[in-house]
Structure 1
C-alpha cells in the first residue's frame, strides 16, 4: 500500500497523468470543434445567428452559413486558442483528479459518491482558475462572424480585451440622458481582470459539471465493470459508453450556468460601455426567452458534450494504460 501511494504521488506519475489528460482533451475538442463554434454563437445570442436557435435543424443551417462565408476554416475559428487552453486545462483537471481522488479515497472501501463528487469538483475548479483567460480569448475569437471581416487572431483578441474599457463613455448609446461614471477603477487598475469575465458563474457551473461528470464516471464504472476485479480489463467501448452517459448527465445539470457565462464573456462586445454583472445577465436571459433561454443550444450541447466526454475519458484511460499510469 505504501509503495502504491508513493507511486501515485511521484513526479513521474504526475507528469504521465497530466500528459494523458492533455492529449485526451485536445483529441476530444478537435472532434467537436464545429459543434462548439455554433453552440457559442447560440449561447452568446449572436444577432446574425439567432434566427437558427431553438431548432434541431438550426445547427445544420448555421454551420452551412459559416461554411459558405468562411469555408472549413470558419467552422474551426478559435480552435487554435481552444487547443492552447484545452491542453493545460485537461492536463491539470485529470492530473488533479488523480491526486485528489487518491487523497480522498486511497482504497476502494473508502469510495463514496460524495467523495467522488468533491474530487471531480475540486479538480475542475483548479483547472478553470489556471486557464480561464485562454477560454475568454477563445470565445471572443469564435463569436466574430461577419463575412466582411478577417478572423480575429489570438493576439488580436488578447489586445482587444486588454484595451476594453480604458475610458468609459459618459452616456449609454442611444440614451444621452443616462450618465455613467467617468472612470472604471477596477478595469483601469487591474486590466487583467477583463480576462476573467464570467469567472464567478463559471465556478458555479464547474462545480456541478465536473463533480457530476466524475461522479457518474466512477459510479458507472464501479457498477458495471465489477469493482472487485482489475479495472484494467475495461475496454475502450465500455469507456466510450460510460463517458457518454456521464457527459449527458453533467451537461443537463450545469447548462444554465454555461449560458450565463457565455453572455458575460462576450459582454465587452455586446455592452462595451460597462461590466455585465451576474444578476443583470440572468435577468436579460430570462426577459429575452423566459426559462427556455437558459437552455438555448442544449440540443447542440448534447451533440457536442456526449461525444466529447466519451472521447475524452476513453483517450485519457488509453493514454494512461499506454504510459503505464
Structure 2
C-alpha cells in the first residue's frame, strides 16, 4: 500500500504535473523507475514500531491514572475517546520527525530538491536546514487528523472488548 502514500504526496505537491493517479503512477515508474514508488519507506516502517508502543503505553497509563483519580474500575466511552485521542497525539508527536523525513524523501527526486541517502541523512539535513522546528513542521494538521481516528479506534476496541468479555462470563 505504500506506493499510494507516495502518489498522494506527489499529487499534493505537484498538482499540475499529473492528470490522475494512474497518470502519476505511469510517469513515476517510466521516468524514475519502480523503486521510486518506495522512496521514504524506511522511516515510515521504522516509525510504526515506536508510534504503536508509545500509543498503547500512553493509553494504558492514562486509563490507569483516570481509574485511580476517579476511583472507578470502568472508563466510559467518552473518557476512552478522549484518552485515546491524547495518546494518539503524544505518539504522533514523539515519532513525527520520521514522518517528516519520509515526506522529504518521497519528494527528494523532484526538481531542485535534495535527495537524501537514508533516514538519518534526511533527519540531519532537515534539522540543519530548518532547525528542530523543521522536524515538526505540519504536526498540527497531522494531530487534528489523527486524534479522532486514534480516539475512535480505542473507543471501539474497549467497547468490543467489554462486550466480548461480558458475554464470555455468561
Class of the TM-score when normalised by the shorter of the 2 chains: 0.7 to 0.9
Selected match of 2:31 from 159, 164, 167: 164
Distance (whole Å) between structure 2 residues aligned to residue 238 and residue 295 of structure 1: 28
Per-residue CA deviation, residues 128-164 of structure 1 (Å, 9 max, x unaligned), is: xxx322222222222234xxx3864222222122123
8 Å contact kept, 2:85–2:147 = yes
How has the CA–CA distance of structure 1 residues 268 and 223 changed in structure 2, closer, same or farther, with 3 Å as cutoff?
same
What is the aligned partner in structure 1 of residue 49 from structure 2? 207
Question: Which 5+ residue runs of structure 2 have no aligned equivalent?
Answer: 166-170
What is the aligned partner in structure 1 of residue 96 from structure 2? 255
Distance (whole Å) between structure 2 residues aligned to residue 316 and residue 268 of structure 1: 40
- Structure 2 residue 106 is matched with structure 1 residue 265: yes
Per-residue CA deviation, residues 32-88 of structure 1 (Å, 9 max, x unaligned), is: xxxxxxxxxxxxxxxxxxxxxxxxxxxxxxxxxxxxxxxxxxxxxxxxxxxxxxxxx
Question: Which 5+ residue runs of structure 1 have no aligned equivalent?
Answer: 1-130, 166-186
How far off is 1:293 after superposition?
Answer: 0.9
Distance (whole Å) between structure 1 residues aligned to residue 22 and residue 52 of structure 2: 30
Distance (whole Å) between structure 2 residues aligned to residue 156 and residue 316 of structure 1: 39
- Structure 2 residue 117 is matched with structure 1 residue 277: yes
8 Å contact kept, 2:56–2:87 = yes
Larger Rg computed on CA atoms: 1
Instruction: Count how many residue pairs are aligned between Structure 1 and Structure 2.
Output: 160
What is the aligned partner in structure 2 of residue 141 from structure 1? 11
TM-score (structure 2 length as normaliser): 0.74
